[in-house]
Structure 1
Amino acid sequence: MVVGKDILKRLQPQDQAWLTELAALAGPPARVALVGGAVRDALLGVTPLDLDVVVEGTGVEELARAGGLPFLFHPAFQNATLDLPDGRFVDLVQARRETYPVPGRNPVPRPGTLEDDLRRRDFTVNTLALVLGPEPQLLDVAGGLRDLQARALRPLHPRSFHEDASRLVRGARIAARLDLQATPELLAQVPDALNVAAQTPRLWAELKLLLQEPHPYHAALKLREWGAGDLLPDLRVLAALDQLPDVNSQTHAAGLLATAPDPDALAARLGVGEKPLHLLSRARSDTFYPPGTPERQLRGILNPESYPPLTGKDVLALGLPAGKEVGQALAHLAELRRAGHLKTQVEERAALYEYVKKVRH
């Protein structure tokens, strides 16, 4: 039997203390609950870092103010974002229920209970809540604990992906990170998600988050396995990057853009900014970059037969004086590479030798 007190103990000590104090400030008959991913991860033995808290029976703004932490209040949804002392953020949410008048667009919120709030979520494993108090209690309204123990990812209801296609991508991220398997109910909803994908702006935000996962290729592969591979271009570059150590999210984004028919258009839809595009341009250039840099990582995948071009040190070693003549020599070599006359570093070194000999005479 899962005991709420044991779940609380799996949080960081400072989080345990803060949540317990927050529940005490709310007081009865209000209910304060840690919900979603934090409870899910704690049950899996992963120490949660992100905290989401739902409040029922008292005002969020008043409770946030009583807690004494800096916060930003969002009147439209009656939510607050609190700043923890260690730099993390906490979402403090007023319990609500939601309806989707237009699939893919923002939902319309209405006041609700904690149970209503849990039932508006995406997957059963994200509906678990830890109701805080002197004796913390696990609240499971949709069989989330059963599915978590079975490592099953199940949508909360049959129209879940029709209402919000971004849930499909979020599901792939969760499944890849936590090694969960899609249920038949999930796979049956994939066509619904694809039908409304074009009118779901949040889907592109989720794809951007996918690129920030520890292993984006694993999440992208889930989408392909589920029949949603067309949401992303060719995955071969992501697959190759997954084999390298210390690859950052900008490199993953650049690798995905490298296979797109229109990298600029895809970058705009994903909202990744200009940095991945600039990185991709540098990786495709003739400029020298040291081993281990993102440019060299990406270049080695996009052009595996490429070789490290010679540098100014190589030119100086042949006796040309430092200054503009070195730049002219490197520009000459770059032109030969672009024209396809140089295939190896040996050929490049020979070309440099001939160039220096001509310049000297």
Structure 2
Amino acid sequence: MQTNYKTALQHKIFGVISKASQELNVDSYVIGGFVRDLLLNRGSKKDIDVVAVGSGIELALKVSDLLPKKPKVQVFKTYGTAMLRFEDTDIEFVGARKESYNFDSRNPIVENGTLEDDQNRRDFTINALALSLNEKTFGDLSDPFNGLADLENKTIKTPLDPDITYSDDPLRMLRAIRFANQLNFEIEKNSLDAITKNAERIKIISGERIVDELNKILSTDKPSIGFLLLYKTGLLDLILPELTALNQVEEIEGHTHKNNFYHTLEVVDNICPNTDDVWLR
């Protein structure tokens, strides 16, 4: 099994981040969606997440200093993150951290942490995969939760107890369904059961964040997969009760008519090959 992906980190930015890390004497890793899509051969993402075992903001500033034209660094002190754009790629830097939650909010209480702490807080095992940007271990894969096996088995699974994961941040329930839809993966049974159990928690998530995830589901090749999972887990009734209300077969003058809920999903699927516009879908 391959454990080093140095040849996949050819983008100039990775070498610059490695040099900046060495100068600051901090360890850094590329983590999350970039690594996931790299291992799935889904093409190169135009956004990269970098975690520093130290200050992500300081690392971003050092990287900018080493790059041509010293691109502007956007700093978000509240979240301890920073972002810069190099060529056609957005790079976000964050310090490794561990998180805890209050019951009535998805905004975490954050403390400095290790790479392992940072991987623990990730939503899914396939998003906790990290590649080292450190000089001596450049390209080495860190996979504490067997995310590589879950990629191969096409499984959506949380790194820690799914009941806690979804209760702490209920938006992850929608993300699980969206990733299952986008990647044609299956949600592990324990995880799916935990989504059903915690469905009511979705009420603490803002409408804007919910709509964003729904639009991403609508943008997939077959949105009905995601909407049926939303229905099965009870989330759809909380988010779009108007849609679940269509789930009945009408009888007019003794004749039964098609189920409007499933017909609506079928119509959405059928229009997908003809347009990428989510508003038309």
Shift of 1:246: 3.5
Which of these residues, 26, 34, 50, is aligned with residue 30 of structure 1? Answer: 26
CA distance in 2 between counterparts of 1:126 and 1:110 reads 20
**CA shift in 2, pair 1:131/1:195, >3 Å:** same
Residues 241 and 247 in structure 1, CA contact (< 8 A), matched pair in contact too: no
Structure 2 CA distance for aligned equivalents of residues 82 and 181 of structure 1: 34
Q: Which has the higher strand share?
A: 2
Q: SS where residue 30 of structure 1 aligns?
A: coil
Cα distance between partner residues in 2 of 1:165 and 1:96? 20
Pairing 1:177-326 to 2, within 5 Å after superposition: 177-201=182-206, 202-230=209-237, 231-232=239-240, 233=243, 234=261, 236-244=263-271, 245-252=273-280, 255=281
Residues 77-86 or 227-236, more deviating:
227-236
2-side partners of 1:29 and 1:193: how far apart?
Answer: 42
Q: Which amino acid aligns with 1:130?
A: L
Say if 2:199 and 2:235, in contact at 8 Å, map to a contact too. Answer: yes
Structure-2 residue corresponding to 1:339: none
Q: 2:275 & 2:195 partners in 1: Cα distance?
A: 30
1:2 maps to amino acid: Q
Deviations along 1:281-331, one digit per CA (max 9) or x if unpaired, are xxxxxxxxxxxxxxxxxxxxxxxxxxxxxxxxxxxxxxxxxxxxxxxxxxx
2:4 matched residue in structure 1: 4
Distance 1:222-1:191 versus aligned 2 partners, 3 A rule: closer
Alignment gaps of 5+ in structure 1: 256-361
Flag the 1:251–1:235 CA change in 2: closer, same or farther, 3 A.
farther
Aligned residues: 246
For 2:44 and 2:232, the matched residues in 1 are separated by 28
Deviations 1:192-223 (A, max 9, x none): 33121112224444234333445433322332
The higher radius of gyration belongs to 1
**SS in structure 2 of the partner of residue 130 of structure 1:** strand
Among 82, 89, 103, the residue aligned to 1:80: 82
- Kindly state the Cα deviation for residue 103 of structure 1 after the two structures are TM-superposed: 4.3
* 1:123 aligns to 2:124 (yes or no): yes
Change (3 A) 1:225 1:192: closer
Native 8 Å contact 2:21 2:134 kept in 1: no
The Cα of 1:44 is off from its aligned counterpart by 1.4
1:155–1:185: 8 Å Cα contact kept in structure 2? no
Residue identity in the other structure for 2:144: V
For residue 184 of structure 1, report the CA deviation from its aligned partner: 1.6
Cα deviation for residue 235 of structure 1 reads 5.9
Structure 2 residues without counterparts, runs of 5 or longer: 65-70, 244-260
Distance 1:4 1:225, change over 3 A: farther
2:196 is paired with a residue whose SS is helix
Aligned equivalent of 2:251: none
Match of 2:142 among 132, 135, 139: 139
Taking only the aligned residue pairs, the percentage that are identical comes to 28
Q: TM-score, normalised on structure 1? A: 0.62
**SS of structure 2 residue aligned to 1:116:** helix
Helix, strand or coil: the match of 2:75?
strand
Correspondence for 1:284: none
Indicate the SS of the match to 2:270: coil
CA-CA distance at 1:249 after TM superposition: 3.5
- Does residue 1:42 correspond to 2:38, yes or no? yes
Residue in structure 1 matching 2:180, options 170, 175, 182: 175
Report the TM-score, using the length of structure 2 for normalisation.
Answer: 0.79
C-alpha distance in structure 2 between counterparts of 1:242 and 1:116, whole Å: 40
SS at match of 2:225: helix
Structure 2 counterparts to residues 37-76 of structure 1, below 5 A? 37-49=33-45, 50-57=47-54, 59-68=55-64, 69-76=71-78
Q: Secondary structure at the match of 1:39?
A: helix
Classify the secondary structure of the residue corresponding to 1:77: coil
Structure 1 position 190, deviation (Å): 1.6
> How far apart are 1:104 and its partner, in Å?
4.2
More contact order relative to length (CA 8 Å, sep ≥ 6): 2
Query: 1:183 Cα shift?
Result: 1.0
Aligned-pair Cα RMSD in Å: 2.3
CA shift at 1:125, angstroms?
A: 1.2
Which of 155, 160, 169 pairs up with 1:157? 160
